């Protein structure tokens, strides 16, 4: 017996438009799917952790219980920007790890189809007839668009451009090629919101949102849910051989926030907290980037994917552009990245994302990924980042059985 934690069951719904389902329907579909996948029931769960960022005061966990099983267990409703799903999973993992329970369920769900641009704007004050300073900056009117941009596409565009300024090698075309890869990968994923291969030309000529990110270089708003059942090592050993064989070991589960650095309150620094999370995760897991058979990382925008190659240590410092151009991150490359299609084509139903990317990795480690299977995958990493900021990194390993 050890203090290892395992993922016993995990699932994601189809990402896309689900006009006939509400968040509870989607969460229930994912949760019941994960329980079925793990061969267990609600009665065996000792804790439920759930997130739905856009309805984060609605108690999605209890709403879900009222549909699939009010067993009286503690519910933790969590909200942590785009890392909400990873935070829910980590909450369940911590509860099992503490020894308080031997099984837990984590669920992330979001309905975002048609939501449009996220971030930015704010209450316009321009109709005021007298300028009056308010807020922490003493602003007399809305500053979005007047003192830089607050929208997500522009913030992450600047994140990629800052990397280019520091290390060189970036261009509009380079960033567009990252989206080309992810859209190509998505054609093999039946659960992705968009599965159309796009040419580099189509991507670069698509509607410009925030240079250098065109529409097809931005994550797709959509509906979806994902859920996972986690189990202690001791409990797993009492289950069937088939359950043990399909269980995926959580080699590391790490959550970080951004430490103070110059400029981090001017342009969010998404790098250091990711580097910190990766370093801690590799240490805990006893593996290095070279051991990873696949990586699902948070490509909320094409410009973001590039910097995370470096942040996760997949390439040498400053070498992300060359690393990508070598073909390393395509599905037949040295370190396949976002073989699911990534957020740019699979979609990004915020709170579901941090569990769905773990599902993708588990799917390959179990050898169940069908047409898009990365052959012989044994170890994988899943990364998410929520602006504000929160970063989740999980390293997962195939069962030795």
Partner 1 sequence: MGEGFASVLRMANQIPLVEYLELGDQPHLKAHECTSCGARYFDRRNACAGCSGTEFTQVVVPDEGVVKAFSIVTFAAPGVPVPFVSAIVDCGGTSVRGNVINCEPSPEVVHLGMRVRLATYVLGTDDNGVEAIGFGYEPAN
Contact set with partner 1 (CB under 8 A): 117, 119-122, 124, 126, 128-133, 136-151, 153-155, 157-159, 161-162, 164-166, 172, 207-213, 260, 262-263, 265-267
Evaluate whether 189 touches 340 at the Cβ level (below 8 Å). yes
**Shortest separation between residue 151's beta carbon and partner 1, angstroms:** 6
Give the residue with the Cβ less far from partner 1, 81 or 139.
139
**Shortest separation between residue 211's beta carbon and partner 1, angstroms:** 4
Q: What is the DSSP string of 321-383?
A: HHHHHTTTTSTTSSS-B-TT-HHHHT---HHHHHHHHHHHHHHHHTT--GGG--TT--EEEEE
Give the residue with the Cβ less far from partner 1, 32 or 304.
304
Give the residue with the Cβ less far from partner 1, 154 or 379.
154
Give the residue with the Cβ less far from partner 1, 170 or 253.
170
Give the residue with the Cβ less far from partner 1, 63 or 214.
214
CA distances from 275 to 32, 82, 205, 307, 354 (A): 35, 17, 33, 10, 18
Give the residue with the Cβ less far from partner 1, 201 or 261.
261
Q: How far apart are CA 75 and CA 48, in angstroms?
A: 5
Closest CA to 7 of 359, 375, 278, 369: 359
Q: How far apart are CA 401 and CA 396, in angstroms?
A: 15
Identify the DSSP state of 227. E
SS3 state of residue 228: strand
Rounded to 5 degrees, what are φ and ψ at 149? -110, 150
Give the residue with the Cβ less far from partner 1, 170 or 345.
170
Q: How far apart are CA 123 and CA 121, in angstroms?
A: 7
**Shortest separation between residue 7's beta carbon and partner 1, angstroms:** 36
Evaluate whether 249 touches 396 at the Cβ level (below 8 Å). yes
**Shortest separation between residue 152's beta carbon and partner 1, angstroms:** 11
**Shortest separation between residue 51's beta carbon and partner 1, angstroms:** 24
Parallel, antiparallel or unpaired: strands 75-77 and 390-398: unpaired
Identify the DSSP state of 400. -
**Shortest separation between residue 301's beta carbon and partner 1, angstroms:** 10
**Shortest separation between residue 116's beta carbon and partner 1, angstroms:** 9
């Amino acid at each position: 017996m050890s203090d290892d934690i395992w993922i016993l069951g995990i699932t994601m719904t189809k990402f896309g438009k689900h006009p006939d389902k509400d968040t509870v329907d989607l969460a229930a579909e994912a949760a019941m799917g994960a329980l079925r996948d793990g061969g267990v029931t609600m009665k065996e769960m000792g804790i439920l952790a759930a997130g739905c960022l856009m309805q984060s005061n609605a108690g999605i966990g209890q709403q879900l219980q009222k549909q699939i099983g009010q067993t009286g267990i503690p519910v933790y409703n969590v909200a942590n920007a785009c890392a909400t799903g990873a935070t829910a999973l980590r909450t369940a993992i911590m509860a099992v790890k503490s020894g308080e329970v031997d099984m837990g369920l984590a669920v992330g769900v979001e309905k975002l189809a048609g939501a449009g641009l996220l971030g930015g704007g704010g209450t316009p004050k321009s109709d005021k007839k007298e300028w009056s300073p308010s807020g922490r900056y003493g602003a007399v009117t809305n500053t979005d668009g007047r003192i830089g941009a607050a929208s997500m596409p522009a913030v992450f565009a600047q994140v990629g451009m800052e990397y280019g300024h520091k290390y060189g090698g970036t261009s509009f075309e380079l960033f567009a090629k990252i989206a080309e890869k992810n859209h190509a990968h998505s054609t093999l994923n039946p659960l992705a919101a968009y599965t159309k291969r796009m040419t580099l030309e189509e991507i670069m000529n698509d509607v410009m949102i925030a240079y250098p990110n065109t529409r097809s270089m931005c994550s797709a708003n959509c509906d979806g849910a994902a859920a996972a059942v986690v189990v202690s090592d001791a409990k797993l050993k009492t289950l069937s051989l088939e359950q043990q064989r399909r269980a995926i070991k959580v080699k590391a589960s790490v959550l970080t926030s951004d430490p103070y650095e110059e400029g981090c309150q001017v342009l969010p620094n998404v790098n250091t907290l990711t580097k910190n999370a990766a370093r801690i995760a590799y240490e805990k897991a006893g593996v290095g980037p070279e051991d990873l058979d696949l990586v699902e990382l948070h490509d909320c925008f094409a410009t973001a994917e590039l910097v995370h190659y470096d942040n996760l240590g997949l390439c040498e410092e400053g070498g992300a552009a060359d690393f990508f151009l070598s073909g390393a991150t395509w599905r037949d490359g040295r370190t396949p990245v976002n073989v699911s299609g990534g957020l740019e084509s699979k979609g990004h139903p915020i709170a579901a994302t941090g569990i769905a990317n773990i599902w993708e990795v588990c799917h390959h480690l179990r050898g169940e990924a069908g047409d898009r299977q990365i052959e012989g995958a044994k170890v994988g990493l899943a990364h998410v980042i929520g602006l504000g900021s929160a970063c989740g990194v999980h390293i997962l390993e195939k069962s030795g059985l």
